Amino acid sequence: MREQLLALLDEIRPDVEFEKETKLIDDGILDSFDIISIVQEMNDTFGVRIKANELQPDNFNTVDAMIELIEKLKRRA
Amino acid sequence: MTFVTLPFFIFVAAVTLAYFLAPRQCRWVVLLLGSYYFYWTNSAWLVLVLLGTTWVTFGIGLWLQRVNDQKQTWLKANGELPWSEVSKYENRINRRARCILLLGVAIDLGALLFLKYFNFFGQNINRLLSGLGHGSPVPVLKLLLPLGISFYTLQAIAYMVDVYRGDERADRNPFKFMLFMSFFPQIVQGPIPRHDKLAVQLYEPHDFDYTRMCYGVQLMVWGLIKKLVIAERLAIPTNYLFDHFADFKGPILLFASAMYGLQVYTDFSGGMDIARGVAHILGIELELNFTQPYFSSSIEEFWRRWHITMGSWMKDYVFYPLSLSEPFTNLSRKCRKVMGKYIGKRIPAFLAMFIVYFLVGFWHGPNWKYVAYGIWNGVFIMSGILLESTYARCRKKLGIQEKAVTWRLFRIIRTFILVSIGRFFSGAADLRTALDMIGRMFMHWRDITFIYNGTLLKAGLNTANWFLLFVMLMLLFFVDFMHEKKVSFRQVLDEQPLVFRWLIYIAAVLVILIFGYYGPQYDAASFIYAGF
């Protein structure tokens, strides 16, 4: 899952070193368009449905947080 | 009693005194009484509209909370049931919650739409029907707009959505909720607060803190300088040039529009500083609404730094929900098939963005010029994102270093000009006038003789006043620049000797008293954004 996620993130923002960043949202590295693109890709790739209320900084600040969100949604599905 | 009148400062002093003298558990009551007194003195019986919105929102919040609690209890008790059963239940109860939320939003938004936009829609329908020979069937109503309705309606919607989503628990005390909806420093023109950030601060007692009071007073004084010395002074030539635009052509009109932009900035951010200063004295932190917007290097960045609480409201309650909604997701899939991945993926987000900027424009007032203002900004933001790769290729070809100071400076100036042109829409009397002004701006566009040929001296300010305005704008630039560099003026001041510190305070107050503009066109009641 991690490789898949990193690949899709890299496709959207090749200029960001996602593994190193810990405050992708808090530091304004990702803007709202990036987030929408990332969510669309995550939905399609992992078969989940991320809703607007899940777009919290805590869920998108790091790659680990994104993986945790996907796993949580997969468990729920 | 507005923020820049003596009665307001007497009122703030009285509330502060009463707040800190009251028993700790009653302190929020002082704020509630103060807030309603403030609203009553400004709006009299229109306070009933605020009360109506408050009670509806409170009731809907409780109702949503009950449904959420029911759902949690059921899920706990029936977690072992097959997933299909659980899903069926969830769908049913979620639908119920959605209906309750829609009811609340419809009532709150309905009040705003009726009071602020009824005549606008009526006039447009009448114009259409009279063109078709059906007369003007929609009557024009004499409607009064309650103070701050555009702000507290958004606040109420945010609260209901947060409770609906389960991000917030509904307030159970109606009087405390009344305070949340009416807190006097922010009711007039924001910042648009969120329940999770403001409510607890309002309900919990705060103790007096001398340093905090000094910081609060400093913010208020700076806000007054911005409002009375800069914004009110800028208003004189700006009003003149906008009113007599037909006498001018060329860059002088861009100059007028840029000054109007600075006037709005100093007026609105000055009001915010006063609001934040008052709240700070009471121990309450209101959110920042501006972070040096004129240092932005793109329009998109400008809107992230300008009226921040409105932007984040639009992002959280319109842009994200729309972009991730089922119809938009389906649209995205279809677009990707037809237009390819790059464009297809962006189309729904662009559409959502377009709707956001349309709403931002329309929120400012019932006039097509505001819609055009929103669209102007939206188009630049969308084109910036859409053509990002093309711009990157151009930069590479031209050998432009992205991080070079000159490149950043160029982008800041370009953004300033684009923002200033956009200001024609919000500053002109109507859309036709705005377009006319923009057209005239491009005539004789090299003619900059207005700077020295005395034209500006006919616009209501004499040489001394223009000089003072220039000095104050330089001071504003300096302060914003230092904030941009993360320098805290409060700390710098704190580190100065007592005598020097007090000299600065006295000088600042004298600047307001001596140079504050209280001339014939001065209207203490008008803050530009309070009119929205």
Query: What pLDDT, on the 0 to 100 scale, is given for residue B120?
Result: 84
Min Cα distance A56 → chain B (Å) is 10
Read off the tokens for A48.
């989940």
Which residues of chain A lie closer than 8 angstroms to B300, CB-CB?
31
Instruction: Name the residue in chain A with its Cα closest to that of B350.
Output: A33
Distance between start and end Cα atoms, chain A: 17
Q: At what angle do helices B47-77 and B149-165 cross, to 10 degrees?
A: 10
Written as one string, the DSSP assignment of A9-57 is HHHH-TTS-TTT-S-TTTTT-S-HHHHHHHHHHHHHHHT----GGG--H
Give the A:B interface size as CB pairs under 8 Å. 36
Q: How far apart are CA B97 and CA B103, in angstroms?
A: 10
Q: How far apart are CA B207 and CA B194, in angstroms?
A: 23
Determine, for residues A33 and B385 on separate chains, whether the beta-carbon distance falls below 8 Å: yes
Give the start-to-end residue ranges of the domains of chain B.
6-208, 212-309+378-518
Task: Determine contact: B336 vs chain A, CB below 8 A.
Answer: no
Determine, for residues A43 and B321 on separate chains, whether the beta-carbon distance falls below 8 Å: no
Query: What pLDDT, on the 0 to 100 scale, is given for residue A25?
Result: 86
Read off the tokens for B302.
């400008």
Read off the tokens for B29.
């009551």
pLDDT-flagged residues of chain B (< 70): 518-532
Please report, to the nearest 10 degrees, the dihedral formed by the alpha carbons of residues B456, B460, B464, B466 taken in order.
-50
Query: What pLDDT, on the 0 to 100 scale, is given for residue B525?
Result: 46
Query: What pLDDT, on the 0 to 100 scale, is given for residue B89?
Result: 86
Which residues of chain B lie closer than 8 angstroms to A15, CB-CB?
none
Which residues of chain B lie closer than 8 angstroms to A51, CB-CB?
324
Looking up tokens 């950030």, which residue turns up? B197
Min Cα distance A19 → chain B (Å) is 24
Q: How far is CA B97 from CA A51, B70, B124, B185, in A?
A: 16, 11, 35, 33
Instruction: Among A32, A39, A51, select the one facing B315 at the smallest CB separation.
Output: A32
Query: What pLDDT, on the 0 to 100 scale, is given for residue B531?
Result: 60
Min Cα distance B166 → chain A (Å) is 9
Task: Determine contact: B212 vs chain A, CB below 8 A.
Answer: no
Min Cα distance A15 → chain B (Å) is 13
What are the structural domains, with CATH classification, of chain A?
2-11+22-76 (1.10.1200.10)
Q: How far apart are CA B160 and CA B155, in angstroms?
A: 9
Write out the H or E segment, with its range, that includes residue B223. Answer: helix B210-224
Contact present, B181 and B53 (Cβ < 8 Å): yes
Instruction: Name the residue in chain A with its Cα closest to that of B351.
Output: A33
